Amino acid sequence: MDRVPPDAWARHRTFLEGLPATLPERPRALLVVLANLEAPRFTVQKQAAPPLLFDYSGFPPHTYELTWPAPCVPELYERVAALLGAAGLPCGFDAARGFDHGVFVSLKVAFPAADIPCVQLSLRSDLDPAAHLAAGQALAPLRDEGVLLVGSGNSYHNLGVMMRAWRMGSTEAHGLDFDAWLSEAVSHPGPTERNRRLLDWLRAPGAREAAPREEHLIPLLVAAGSDSGAKIFEDRVLGAVQSAFRFG
């Protein structure tokens, strides 16, 4: 594979390292909604000591020797399934799959001690925006129970455009129109209008360039729940804008 600049994600790393200090309190647990995991119905991880799933290729040897032994606890995965079920969103359990790179790559930086229980949740494979926004609303009570809900994805995930821009040495920043729209949509103070905009994200300028397939954007809808949000980080990586948002 092409070797990207070693510092391409440096600002992301700094952001993640400082993230815990910006939270109002230390999380009691972590729930990660994964862009890379889809199932016919929402599916929550259920195992005591998940291994790491190195579901990538072509990276340096040390990236296959990482560890992040966070526990996965019944109180959390059973609570997640109960909340979703009560909202009419059936939820299954997965006792086999380890922590995806969408979990450990970021959280190993943010919470290196791996001493906070963590559970990962799949997307529903139909990627229906309304169902995922409803899931976020169903899981909203977790916020008051000390659980940090993390939407693991990308605000811009068109790797073909990014790699071409990098190879050509382009200085053009891709995704600016969509990022501006997304920032305004998530921060809208009116919940009805905010949700309408998020559900209608495909009409946003540059939507399909930013998300050729929407699986990396959909976790944001779950994280949104019923709260407005705000942009807390922006970076330019390989010619594309990447942003992070906080809700609640």
Q: For residue range 24-41, what is the model confidence (pLDDT) as tens digits?
A: 999 999 999 999 999 999
pLDDT recorded at residue 2: 57
- Express each pLDDT in 53-91 by its tens digit: 998 888 889 989 999 999 999 999 999 999 999 999 999
- The Cα–Cα gap between 3 and 166 comes to 10
Question: Residue 100: what pLDDT?
Answer: 94
Given pLDDT bands bounded at 50, 70 and 90, which one contains residue 149? very high
Tens of pLDDT, residues 41-53:
999 999 989 999 9
Cα(135)–Cα(226) distance, rounded to whole angstroms? Answer: 10
Query: Tens digit of pLDDT for each residue in 200-241?
Result: 999 999 999 999 999 999 999 999 987 889 999 999 998 899
Q: Within 10 A of 62 (CB to CB), how many other CB atoms are there?
A: 7
Q: For residues 40 and 69, give the distance between their C-alpha atoms in angstroms, rounded to a whole number.
A: 28
How many other CB atoms are there within 10 angstroms of residue 183's CB atom? Answer: 16
Q: Which option is the CATH number for 10-247: 1.20.120.330, 3.40.50.720, 3.40.830.10, 3.30.70.270?
A: 3.40.830.10
Residue 1, pLDDT > 50, answer: no
For the chain, what is the largest distance between any 2 Cα atoms, rounded to a whole number of angstroms? 51
Instruction: Yes or no: say if 248 and 181 are a contact pair by the CB < 8 Å rule.
Output: no
From 193, 238, 199, select the one nearest 217 (Cα to Cα).
199
3-state class of 132 per DSSP?
helix
- Using the structure block, give the residue that is written with the tokens 């992070």: 244
Rounded distance between C-alpha atoms, residue 85 and residue 168, angstroms? 49
Model pTM greater than 0.85?
yes
